[in-house]
Amino acid sequence: MLKRNLWELTDYHCPVVGTCLSNAELRKLTTRVGLMLPENATDYERHGAFVSLSRHPERPARVIQKYLDKKFARQLKRFAAAKTDDAIWELWTTMADAGDIPGAFWSVMRHPLASPTMLAQVYGEVHMLSHLVGASTRADLRRLTEAQAQVERLTGALAERKRVLREAVAVWKRRNLELDRQLSVERTRREQAERERLSLREVLENRAVVELERDREALLHQLQDMSDRAVQAEATTRRQATLIENAYREESALRRELDQRDQEVRALELALLESMGGTADSCGGAGKAGSCDKNCAGPSCAQSCQSPESCPCPRLRGKCVLYVGGQTGLRGQYRQLGQRFGCEVLHHDGGLEQSGQHLRQLLSRADAVVCPVDCVSHDACATVKRLCKNASKPVLFARSSGLSSLASSLTELDRTCQ
């Protein structure tokens, strides 16, 4: 025989929802059944909404019924063995006395053999119990309020007693600490006086004038030895100071000489570059495709070489080389030297004023990269390494930012260029 459904329990939806479901369970089922309530809805409003949903044989009522069946599965199984109203009433009385009123009430309401009279009788029991529970709850709340007030008074009194006791203990501890300190000072004074008395007694009884004289002579010898060592140390210090001053002067002279040599090298590089430019200008076929018949290093034959392996023109012809770092003032000389090798030299200052994005743009145009290690930042070197590795482009790290170093790097690139 089929069990009664929740929506078939006419006039019993309110006690079923109020007795068998707690407020927390109602809040959990609100989302599950798709119930839309205001955020500030009271528990009474939520209870009323669930009572209304229970009256219709639709999805919300079925969800509530399924939840209650699962919650009180053990009680439903127990009531299934009762076949008459007497057996149902006896089982209800037993479980109600044991305090399991929600499970027993739902089991009676769902029981297919429970008569309307039995349902009304059990509902009356639950109804009267709700009145008794309400009265008891109000009395308990009144007693709880009085007890809480008394607890607050006792807690305040206890806190005051604890405060007084802590202050008394603190005073007692301070006094004990002060007494211990005074006792320790007094003990130290007595021990020091006893040590001085014993020491004076030992000196008077055991040490003789001869021993004192011997000690005096030994101290004099030690003093003389220390004086001699001090004189020697002072002389050594003066010599070392002289050597250091001479070394400083030699270093300064060497630095000045090195600066003069650097100036001479730069002047020679500029003179060499001017000489190379003049030579390129004097070449009759410079800049004309296939017209140069001399063994010059200028771009002469463009792309008309029939035998590139034996062509005297530079293999960097038509290439683009990116120079990262170096001296900004030599930018024009860098480009002129690149023209001598038949290639275009692009320049990036290594991050002093130009951005990393500009470096990536120039690198996308370049066929190779030259980076002087003495005049570029570590970040720029790292960026060049990474980008060239990703783009599979050759990169040379020159030893200096001079024109001769760039010429050596371009020569190396010209030798390895395919």
Q: What is the pLDDT of residues 404-413, one digit of tens each?
A: 888 888 888 8
pLDDT at position 378 is: 81
Over residues 127-138, the mean pLDDT reads: 65
Q: Under CATH, which architecture does the 314-416 domain have?
A: 3-Layer(aba) Sandwich (3.40)
Task: Quickly state the pLDDT bin for 260 (edges 50, 70, 90).
Answer: low
If you write DSSP's letter for every residue of 63-75 in order, what string do you get? HHHHHHHHHTHHH
Tell me the domain boundaries of the chain.
6-140, 314-416
Compute the distance between CA of residue 369 and CA of residue 394 in angstroms, rounded to an integer: 6
Q: What is the mean pLDDT of the chain?
A: 81
Compute the distance between CA of residue 49 and CA of residue 57 in angstroms, rounded to an integer: 15
Compute the distance between CA of residue 19 and CA of residue 31 in angstroms, rounded to an integer: 21
Over residues 211-223, the mean pLDDT reads: 87
Higher pLDDT, 227 or 298: 227
Nearest to 64, CA basis, from 79, 56, 78: 56
The mean-pLDDT minimum among 196-200, 260-264, 302-306 falls in: 302-306
pLDDT at position 294 is: 37
pLDDT at 318 over 60: yes
In the sheet with 368-372, reading across from the earlier edge strand, the strands are 344-348, 320-324, 368-372, 395-398
pLDDT at position 290 is: 37
pLDDT digits (tens, 9 = 90+) for 106-115: 888 888 888 8
The CA distances from residue 72 to 182, 228, 390, in Å, are 77, 107, 69
pLDDT at 288 over 70: no
Over residues 302-321, the mean pLDDT reads: 63
